[in-house]
Amino acid sequence: MTTYELRELEEKANQGDAESQFRLGDYYQWDAPDAPISTEALKWYELSAENGFIGAQFTLGEFYFQGEGGYEKSYDKAFKWFKKAADSGDGMALWRVGSFYELGVGVEKDHEEAIKWYKRSAEEGYSTARVCLAFFILISYLTGDLKYRDSEREEFINRVNSFGKFTSQLTIPHVDRNYLETAKKYLEDALTDKNLEEGYKKPAEFFLSQIKKELSK
């Protein structure tokens, strides 16, 4: 960025333009000669976020969630900023809020609340949320309770992630076909989306194959 471009950006940011404030935060975080200048970046990110710029809200959520970019990890602050972005209808932020409720990170664990946010995320077209909804449908019947125990969730995920060793052990009990059809639709929609997060593709494919087996009986 040239000196003239930086001066122009600073002028717009100081006038309260939220996008310019966000871009100035990015400059101090990533592009300034001594980057990251986290205190200056945070100042502009927060101004932009408070002015309603979703990109800044989500960025702050990610930094605090991951503890990256010179920011101390804080699930409470991460949830705050993801929630603000979610309230504006951002699909990925809606999914993030759902995951916080599912895992009890930054908020009290509430699986029904998680499902509500995942559904909103899916409605906004975010396919990872569709995989999470299908997961809830399956695990709630595998464990007999929507409010599954963490140990059961961990065992289930380990089975899914270790395909060669555990695939034969995972079976879907006989359940209402309507629920399986719903999960099947979520997964099919997710897998047609080229933007589905890479880590969710194999589990989604595996879930779908198991559901199709059950539905063919």
CA 30 to chain centre: 23
Position 150 scores a pLDDT of: 53
pLDDT in tens, the chain (217 residues): 899 999 999 999 999 999 999 999 999 999 998 888 888 999 999 999 999 999 999 999 999 999 977 788 999 999 999 999 999 999 999 999 999 998 899 999 888 899 899 999 999 999 999 999 888 877 765 555 555 445 545 555 554 444 333 333 445 555 567 778 888 999 999 999 999 988 889 889 988 988 888 788 7
Domain that holds residue 172: 3-215
Distance of CA 177 to the CA centre of its chain: 28
- Confidence (pTM): 0.81
Question: What pLDDT does 111 receive?
Answer: 84
Whole-number pLDDT of residue 118: 93
CATH of the domain at 15: 1.25.40.10
How confident is the model at residue 153, as a pLDDT?
53
The CA-CA-CA angle for residues 131, 135, 140, to 5°, reads 155
Q: What pLDDT is recorded for position 68?
A: 78
Q: How many domains does the chain have?
A: 1
CB 167 within 8 A of CB 212: no
The secondary structure of the chain in percent helix, strand, coil, rounded to multiples of 5, reads 75, 0, 25
Tokens of 42: 């945070």
Question: pLDDT at position 166, please?
Answer: 34
Q: Given this model, what pLDDT does residue 160 score?
A: 46
* pLDDT the model gives residue 172: 54
